[in-house]
Structure 1
């Protein structure tokens, strides 16, 4: 039996709306597809920022086939990874603003691989390692001066908080290699998100391999681990299918044979990272129409899911417009799909094609498994978070809701 036999509308009637439904069988399928598209031996790091739901994350490491590792950038994501069964050796800790407190917690729980965004970040990582009496592996994140493909979100080629400028590595190599508590294990390059097509993805990743080979020369030491980033694509809040990459394996193999001829023997180990591709098509957001109104000739369909539920990434151009599905097919009309919040910014689609809807109707937003609740304005206006249901093999795996509780710290007179 497939989890597709569980109708989101039935779950909405039972648990209310707004409601996320995550199909963990689709998560496992995405994992199989991604590993199948890559050369043999590649590692895959799952970016927890896409969706840290524990049952979804657990599906990426359990079961048959290669398991994903974890790419995290906070102690909250660290806690989710540990709850899902990951251990420190499975985890890559990233991010430009790591604090001493979180670094010491990460090292203390067994994390031994970090991405360093700068020489000063590398030194902070080293200080935390020394405090625990250990040495950790570090990947130098590189901000390449050049790129191959265009994309909606570029991560290199400009002044940024991310990565060490590639043109400075040769001059700082000695300092980078001598930070106490650290061992420079390799490089981390992440140049794009959501590549427009396979050609763009291949162009960027092969360019990344070329850049990595040049940086290896600048450092003067062999790389043990090379993370070439991602860019694997899936529609976001739109109808459509996850991208397939039939040419990727052979193209990456050819590039690696040229620039890292010993890669097939494991020098260096190779890795990619992905969030949206692994989680995106697993999720459906179910919402209910609460009102329909006309304002100066324009129709507005108001639903109970807004940018507090789904849409925190809209400022990055990743949301508008959404597409919706209803059980009853029929004519469509132009209308704006908006949420319930008291702000004109609560818009999920402006004058888009929608079915003719009425109060009480349920709508489903597809491909909503990535960048959902935890990347939205959950606390804005104090509305409750959506229910999240994980389903798999025709059964409900879990039902949960994120709760925000204010805690007060008692302060005695005279305390500072």
Structure 2
């Protein structure tokens, strides 16, 4: 089978043989499993927000909303997708280092009332727009601590950054970070880094975050009722592997919060965590087919029908280290004798650009034209972080399953289409 029509086809055939490639497969059962696993690692009284940037597919969002998860968004499109999927608007946290007036107004009209702010100007903006809408808006002050977290796959703090106000700024000029009449500073927002895979690293990060909370509250001379400690819960990306199990994290977090956060446990504090990667990474895989196999300058080259336009935007930005595609068993339509180069494989996509490469030391032994290849653990930062419009290829098919049952399939849009507001 080479390519396909995208139709459901013979239901007795394995699903991977019934889809046109490239295709993303999302499993809602895996979403439920990841949510239950992470929820069980966190204090029972804490809140959990899903970061939509990881995967805003409507079916994934509907499943998480039904489980009781809240939403963290950072654009008008994410906000509208969250509301449409069933997330309560008054439980949404709208983040981002810069927000246009019209986007804040749209969020307020949709019922969103909580925003993360990164500067005094952002507080003034919320106050002004809240006054115009005749409503009080809640602000979480995002703070940029002076030291980056240890062990993070991507540090979000500890240096010059568009994210948050420097802790030293808050301490030196606290008057700029106090509540306005229509924008009440009700909490602090901290997100130190991503892809933390050990309990010790997570606990060290949260312990440091709580010290920052203490310093901010001392500067503002107030006890803030909402403390967003972020997350950074790690998961494998584009390689085989299971979600980390943080087996003792809940109890250790409870002890840490009780010791370091005055008022915790007495109904005076709401502690929330965020996750995108952990909740959705394992639910998705990408299917793609081999278009060509050749040798160049002594190296083996495998060209796939998916590239950085479908997956790998994060890898191209040096956020992820590698993509590790794997050959699936099945018939091989074209395997010419004597044309199998040996050694490490360069795995490339179909784009006319030399950077359209997933890995330069891949395997794919015996790959031939028409073979089916899969990339695991790309339910987070997959299609929605790719360079989807580059070269105007069609968007990949997206197929949603629940265990063995197919739920829906479709495409978001084609890169060649003009979207009219």
Distance of 2:60 and 2:114 partners within structure 1? 23
Could you tell me how far 1:37 is from its partner in structure 2?
A: 0.3
Could you tell me how far 1:221 is from its partner in structure 2?
A: 1.2
Other-structure match for 2:50: 46
Could you tell me how far 1:148 is from its partner in structure 2?
A: 4.5
Could you tell me how far 1:341 is from its partner in structure 2?
A: 0.2
Distance of 1:126 and 1:8 partners within structure 2? 59
Matched, 1:109 2:110: yes
Distance of 1:99 and 1:304 partners within structure 2? 38
Matched, 1:250 2:268: no
Is the contact made by 2:327 and 2:372 (CA closer than 8 Å) also made in structure 1?
yes
Is the contact made by 2:197 and 2:233 (CA closer than 8 Å) also made in structure 1?
no
The TM-score normalised by the length of structure 2 is 0.91
* Unpaired segments ≥5 residues, structure 1: 1-5, 410-416
Is the contact made by 2:327 and 2:364 (CA closer than 8 Å) also made in structure 1?
no
Distance of 2:217 and 2:345 partners within structure 1? 54
Other-structure match for 1:236: 237
**Residues 67-146 of structure 1 aligned to structure 2 (within 5 Å):** 67-146=68-147
Distance of 2:120 and 2:295 partners within structure 1? 57
Could you tell me how far 1:17 is from its partner in structure 2?
A: 0.2
Q: CA RMSD, aligned part only?
A: 2.1
Distance of 2:419 and 2:65 partners within structure 1? 34
Is the contact made by 2:284 and 2:380 (CA closer than 8 Å) also made in structure 1?
yes
Matched, 1:399 2:409: yes
SS at 1:15's partner residue?
A: coil
Distance of 1:8 and 1:370 partners within structure 2? 29
Could you tell me how far 1:97 is from its partner in structure 2?
A: 1.3
Is the contact made by 1:321 and 1:352 (CA closer than 8 Å) also made in structure 2?
no
Could you tell me how far 1:393 is from its partner in structure 2?
A: 4.0
Change (3 A) 1:384 1:152: same
Could you tell me how far 1:247 is from its partner in structure 2?
A: 2.4
Could you tell me how far 1:407 is from its partner in structure 2?
A: 4.7
Could you tell me how far 1:222 is from its partner in structure 2?
A: 1.2
Is the contact made by 2:197 and 2:244 (CA closer than 8 Å) also made in structure 1?
no
The TM-score normalised by the length of structure 1 is 0.92
Is the contact made by 1:8 and 1:21 (CA closer than 8 Å) also made in structure 2?
no
Matched, 1:380 2:390: yes
Matched, 1:364 2:386: no
**Residues 9-408 of structure 1 aligned to structure 2 (within 5 Å):** 10-63=14-67, 67-328=68-329, 333-404=343-414, 405-407=417-419
Change (3 A) 1:236 1:318: farther
Runs of 4+ with deviation above 3 angstroms = 6-13
Change (3 A) 1:291 1:251: same
Offset from partner CA, 1:259-296 (integer Å, 9 cap, x none): 22321123210001010000000001000001111111
Is the contact made by 1:126 and 1:180 (CA closer than 8 Å) also made in structure 2?
yes
**Across the two proteins, how many residue pairs are aligned to each other?**
400
Distance of 1:299 and 1:353 partners within structure 2? 10
SS at 2:18's partner residue?
A: helix
Is the contact made by 1:321 and 1:350 (CA closer than 8 Å) also made in structure 2?
no
SS at 2:327's partner residue?
A: coil
Segment of structure 1 superposing worse, 392-401 or 133-142? 392-401
Offset from partner CA, 1:359-394 (integer Å, 9 cap, x none): 000011000101111111111000001011111143
Other-structure match for 1:413: none
Segment of structure 1 superposing worse, 251-260 or 105-114? 251-260
* Unpaired segments ≥5 residues, structure 2: 1-9, 331-339
Distance of 1:209 and 1:8 partners within structure 2? 54
Could you tell me how far 1:7 is from its partner in structure 2?
A: 10
SS at 1:61's partner residue?
A: helix
Change (3 A) 1:270 1:344: same
